[in-house]
Chain A
Amino acid sequence: MYGNDFSTEPSEPLNAAETGGVEQAMAHEDRRAQLLSEAEVADRQEQFDALIAADQRIEPRDWMPEAYRKTLVRQIAQHAHSEIIGMQPEGNWITRAPSLRRKAILIAKVQDEAGHGLYLYSAAETLGAGRDELLDALHSGKQKYSTIFNYPTLTWADVGAIGWLVDGAAIMNQVPLCRCSYGPYARAMIRVCKEESFHQRQGFEILWALSRGTSEQKAMAQDAANRWWWPALMMFGPPDAESSHSEQSMAWGIKRFSNDELRQRFVDMTVPQAQKLGLTLPDPDLRYDEESAHWRFGEIDWSEFKRVLSGDGPCNAQRIAHRRKAHEDGAWVREAASAYAAKQAKRTAQAREEAVA
């Protein structure tokens, strides 16, 4: 799952692409690039522009403008971070899932989120970013993740609301990314989108069950919808007028639709689903506009969005602390895997020597 709602105004290096790590990793490519004359660079820029204009994909070995590479590394990395941080709010309910069926489903979903993070980190690596540097940037707060994951999951119904609303919004954001101009990112998104549809359906199913249950269960579903509706709308990012990087990303074919367009589509898709569930969305201004055939919604509280984005959400500190601890606690597993590989390599070499002797 993923939103378009992380910081887009870097005041400090956001990732490996800006710290010199990429330059190191791409040393041989860069040496070639440095040898290019101005005329050759202009020539390659022209080829790049022609590919973009023809709606063709850019592949890892193609020449690309440095700003395009940096933008992609930042976006793909923050997308990957969102996937793995997104495991936490739902992971919180695995041990308390109401049945074995629900527990198995939730485990499968959290596994998927981990998998999505891995697809995306490897896509970022095709641009020369190092996995460790990206994780460091997440742990140190240099890179962000979707603000939606800074909200807590207070009841079981929140697991349903996340699947229905948060994954629903993520799908709306991610489907156009399947046609993103950067090949490896687009291909990763195709895999992700195929897997997301189970996520959204299982969320809807949870709320469908609760909304036809006891009055307490109905109230629990309504409470979850109340708390997740507005943050879900914020997942599409700031209004177009304030979205600083959108225009360039559109020109590069990284982004296909504006934040406001996608948000409107999400509202149009979701309101009838809420009606079906018998849930009220917490917006007194929500009304159907016959003329435009769209659902009109009220003002989004962008001050809340900015507050959560800047670190002052209910769970920001908890999410990063948990992520860091998981990484540190996992150190022995990584060390053990390396030690085992080294031992196997040594044994294979010994066996080979003995066979020769």
Chain B
Amino acid sequence: MSDWPLWEVFVRGKRGLNHTHAGSLHAPDAQMALRNARDLYTRRGEGVSIWVVPAAAITASSPDERDSFFDPAGDKVYRHPTFYDVPEDVEYL
């Protein structure tokens, strides 16, 4: 089984929600991965739709570079609405 590829499983909890990562599993092909994912991750009706993606197809950011990778957003506090000085008694701002 260890030579079967690893699949990452994404489950949509209900209509209108994003697919979110649920976990992973091994399977020899995509169809079997899908069926196994159903049995493994949605035994109690946790989902209405499943995606399986070969883990090898995922490119991830590196934990070592986490700080420098996300750093550019760190000092841009003005991207948040709370940064602005507006009078408190103005409604709907």
Contacts and interface: CB of A to CB of B under 8 A. Distances in A.
Given A56-B15, A183-B16, A200 B93 contact: yes
Nearest to B48: A59
A51 B48 CA distance: 14
A59 B76 contact: no
B79 A198 contact: yes
B86 A205 contact: yes
Contacts of B78: 101, 104-105, 108, 198, 202
**Which applies to chain B's interface (DSSP): helix, strand, loop or mixed?**
loop
B91 interface: yes
B51 to A, nearest CB: 11
A141 interface: no
B57 to A, nearest CB: 14
A57 B49 CA distance: 13
A63 interface: no
Contact of A201 (B12, B49, B81, B91): B81
A57 B92 contact: no
Interface residues of B, number: 20
Contacts of A48: none
B71 interface: no
B83 interface: yes
B80 interface: yes
A155 to B, nearest CB: 20
Contacts of A338: none
A167 to B, nearest CB: 11
Contacts of A252: none
B90 interface: yes
Contacts of B12: 59
Contact of A208 (B49, B79, B87): B87
Interface string A108-145: 10001000000000000000000000000000000000
Interface in A246-279: 269, 272-273, 276
A165 interface: no
B85 interface: yes
B90 A273 contact: yes
Contacts of B70: none
A59 B49 contact: yes
A114 to B, nearest CB: 14
A201 B90 CA distance: 11
A104 B73 CA distance: 12
Interface string A187-199: 1000000010110
Contact of B79 (A56, A57, A101, A108): A108
Interface of B: 12, 15-16, 18, 49, 76, 78-81, 83-87, 89-93
